[in-house]
Structure 1
Amino acid sequence: MDRYEQSCAALGVCLAANVPVVLWGPPGQGKTSVIQQLAADLDLHLETVIASIREPSDFAGLPVVDHASGSVALAPPRWARALASAERGVVFFDEMSTAPPAVQAAMLRVAVDRVVGDLPLPVATRVVAAANPPGVAADGWDLTPPLANRFCHLEWALPAATLRDGFAFGWPSVPVPAVHDLESFADAKRLVGVFLGSRPELVTRVPDSASEAGFAFPTPRSWEMAAKVYATATRAGVPGAVRTLLLSGCVGAPAAGEFLTYVASLDLPDPEELLADPDGLSIAGRRGDVVYAVAASVWAATDARLTSERWVACGRVLARIADGGHADIAYTTARRWVKARPANALPDVSSLRSLEPILRELGRFADLAPGL
């Protein structure tokens, strides 16, 4: 898979995950054409908006006075009304790097919230943009950091071999995986949260220079986008190089590299296996962040399919964690565990002994240990 194919696969993942994406490349690289073909292949309504020739009101809405009610509404432009009517569509912001800062500011709410003026666009509306690097753009501007932080950034260029084959046989379609898995997204968010708990300096790191801040950098918002594309890419089985492109496009290459290296080193046990055999959990020698990830994944699996048996097994896992010297982690998870107790479910005696200090602090020991 060459770099162009990797970029196509990454674009498809962004669309499947509904993460706004911007394609960066010199003029004439087929960015507009590939979006047009993509919309046709997926039967999506396409609205192309040339950002450089638009006014802020084309995104923020035009104030219209309602004299009868004495109120002012922000009327959306035609392209937004067409997308709202279509229900399944793509809005393509072309020439985004030639939009002045005032227009970029008006685009902020459109990019993430899908709201134009007072008109909410359908949730399924995908947001794609194309931009030329400021050095080759016509009267170009750096993207403002708030706008740049709302997009996954992908490089886009046509290699000679791709151009040759495209002219001879036609352009390949962008593969968009049919993945909609909320459980995988929740797992990915937990991984990101555990990672950032061990590397808090990477939660937010805005670059010092304005030019670098116009691309990907880590913030809580871009980490959430990273979790979405990571979950979608993993579930779709895309190659590791594509996942690296996606994570780098959301939070920048340094932060993405650290996260992927960290995930590869975790070696987490399957939570379903732990629920089936809680006593098989070994805590000795495990780092605190790994233990936290284990506790979070076991509780998530329990909560997703809650039964009395699974709830009791989760308590045994928490007891093992507390006995292993991580009572603080057991306490954090136990707060959710006790609130979700199925009717008449009680922990076994050994779990009660291990979790007694935690349950007493939570004020639930008497409820869960009647007669003791």
Structure 2
Amino acid sequence: MSTDRTAPAAPSGPLAAADDLNRRLRTRRTEPAANPQLEALALAVTANQPVLLWGEPGIGKSAGLEQLAAGLGLPLETVIASVHEPSDFAGLPVVGDDPAVTGVPMAPPDWAVRLARAGQGLLFFDELSSAPPAVQAALLRVVLERRVGSLVLPEAVRIVAAANPPSSAADGWHLSPPLANRFVHLEWTHDPRTVARGMAGTWPEVTVPVVDAAKVPGAVARARGAISGFLTARPGLVHHIPGDAESRGRSWPSPRTWEMALKLLAAGYAAGAGREALAAALTGAVGDGAGIELLSYLEHLDLPDPDRVLADPDAFALPERGDRQLAFLIAVVAAIQSDLTRPRWEAGWAVLAKAVDAGVPDVAARAATDLAAMRHLDWPVPPGIDGFLDLLRMSGALSGRSR
């Protein structure tokens, strides 16, 4: 018995030429080009922080996500939040044979199952500002805990959303403060010159920041020192909810968003992210007011690499400014904690001793307490600890810990 395997005939009829014309118009190429907003989006995705793109309809938010997913080689699942019900995110109850014994699981939707099977991907919630409050409430666990019904999405799944300002959204709503505070907010605009060149068939390609594994320990320590030092100097910026509904639906500082800023800064340091992209991501996490102050602080911080200092503490000179001293000493302790050995621990005390010699032991007091708490019971007390003995005895930090 033979089987006819001939290829299907090419489409014919009055629309064949029109279909060919549309195929030719879809052909495009990309070229390297500076695009800070695309780089900021890629940085937030690299740092695995939920990101929300704000922009007017029709300016390429969805196209940007498709381009990013292609550049990362990740599957893209698009979910139009405004046309779903809360149960689509909380899960639908499925009654089994004996619910009194097994309970009633909440069945996840098909897009969540596909992402779980793939183990990675981009989950894109579109039209978020058109979703009613009940749907926004159901999305809270998805964005923060990655839980969809009874299914937990893999950690490698990145979450991105897009929204139109309420004034231009279909039946637009302000985002609820709990949901807004779970995102890095980025303004998405269009460049007329980029659009004009795109109409000619050439669009900018996405530059994905690549984290350098060799820079990770130093980047984490530097970021911890910078954020902790800044919040120590500006405690009033740790948490501040704006007074009006529109501002509460955007970015504002809270312990959650400062942790997001910490991860963005560490990823930016480790990947060598551009200054404009990093600035956009940080202000998108904690808001314009706190973000601008943080950027000014970082611009004048210029912390030395803590690992290099620990390798040769005698060659190190303590920064002159108090805020830089505090941030650097916090970074040194964070670097030691990430790779705790006796030589590095002792080198840390040599660094802190320079704060005593400089006449500013109070700046190093917190760092000294943290460093003393890392001591193993069989490690001797180093000479550099002398200037902190009274403080450490009061805190009980000299008792040490077991291995």
In which range does the TM-score fall when normalised by the shorter chain? Answer: 0.7 to 0.9
Matches within 5 A, 1:94-105: 94-105=126-137
Corresponding residue for residue 137 of structure 1: 169
**Are residue 341 (structure 1) and residue 375 (structure 2) matched?**
yes
Q: Aligned partners of 1:4, 1:135: CA distance in 2, in Å? A: 31
Corresponding residue for residue 46 of structure 1: 76
> Which of residues 325, 332, 343 is equivalent to 1:298?
332
Amino acid at match of 2:80: I
Q: Aligned partners of 1:45, 1:366: CA distance in 2, in Å? A: 52
Q: 1:353 to 1:118 in 2, by over 3 A?
A: same
Per-residue deviation at 1:193?
A: 1.8
Give unpaired runs (5+ residues) of structure 2.
1-32
Q: 1:275 to 1:47 in 2, by over 3 A?
A: closer
Does the 8 Å CA contact 2:81/2:130 hold for their aligned counterparts? yes
> Which of residues 225, 239, 259 is equivalent to 2:294?
259
Matches within 5 A, 1:234-313: 234-278=269-313, 286-287=321-322, 289-313=323-347
Corresponding residue for residue 188 of structure 2: 156
Corresponding residue for residue 321 of structure 1: 355
Per-residue deviation at 1:226?
A: 1.5
Matches within 5 A, 1:30-41: 30-41=60-71
Matches within 5 A, 1:195-234: 195-234=230-269
**1:309-348 alpha-carbon deviations (Å, 9 max, x no partner):** 3222222223333455554554433344334335754344
Amino acid at match of 1:75: A
Does the 8 Å CA contact 2:222/2:306 hold for their aligned counterparts? no
Amino acid at match of 1:338: A
Per-residue deviation at 1:359?
A: 4.5
Corresponding residue for residue 4 of structure 2: none
**1:283-321 alpha-carbon deviations (Å, 9 max, x no partner):** 69642x433323222222333343333222222223333
Q: 1:164 to 1:338 in 2, by over 3 A?
A: same
Does the 8 Å CA contact 1:284/1:324 hold for their aligned counterparts? no
Amino acid at match of 1:319: A
Residue aligned with 2:285, SS = helix
The farther-off stretch of 94-103 and 329-338 is 329-338
Does the 8 Å CA contact 1:204/1:218 hold for their aligned counterparts? yes
Per-residue deviation at 1:277?
A: 4.8
Give the length in aligned residue pairs: 364
Per-residue deviation at 1:132?
A: 1.0
Amino acid at match of 2:72: L
**1:53-84 alpha-carbon deviations (Å, 9 max, x no partner):** 00001111122333514122222111111111
User: What is the root-mean-square deviation in Å for CA atoms of aligned residues?
Assistant: 2.7
Does the 8 Å CA contact 2:230/2:294 hold for their aligned counterparts? yes
Q: Aligned partners of 2:34, 2:168: CA distance in 1, in Å? A: 20
Q: Aligned partners of 1:158, 1:327: CA distance in 2, in Å? A: 52
Q: 1:121 to 1:175 in 2, by over 3 A?
A: same
**1:191-230 alpha-carbon deviations (Å, 9 max, x no partner):** 1121111111111111111011111111111111122222
Residue aligned with 1:154, SS = strand
Residue aligned with 1:28, SS = coil
Give unpaired runs (5+ residues) of structure 1.
368-372
> Which of residues 46, 50, 56 is equivalent to 1:20?
50
Amino acid at match of 1:81: V
Amino acid at match of 1:300: A
Does the 8 Å CA contact 1:218/1:251 hold for their aligned counterparts? yes
Per-residue deviation at 1:130?
A: 1.2
Q: 1:268 to 1:102 in 2, by over 3 A?
A: same
Q: 1:180 to 1:143 in 2, by over 3 A?
A: farther
The farther-off stretch of 199-208 and 351-360 is 351-360
Query: What TM-score results when the alignment is normalised by the length of structure 2?
Result: 0.82
Percent pairwise identity: 46
Per-residue deviation at 1:14?
A: 1.1
Q: 1:276 to 1:233 in 2, by over 3 A?
A: closer
Q: 1:361 to 1:278 in 2, by over 3 A?
A: farther
Residue aligned with 1:65, SS = coil
Residue aligned with 2:300, SS = helix
Corresponding residue for residue 121 of structure 1: 153
**Are residue 361 (structure 1) and residue 399 (structure 2) matched?**
no
Rg (Cα) greater in structure: 2
**Are residue 109 (structure 1) and residue 141 (structure 2) matched?**
yes
Query: What TM-score results when the alignment is normalised by the length of structure 1?
Result: 0.88
Residue aligned with 2:245, SS = coil
**1:32-64 alpha-carbon deviations (Å, 9 max, x no partner):** 122223223322121111111000011111223
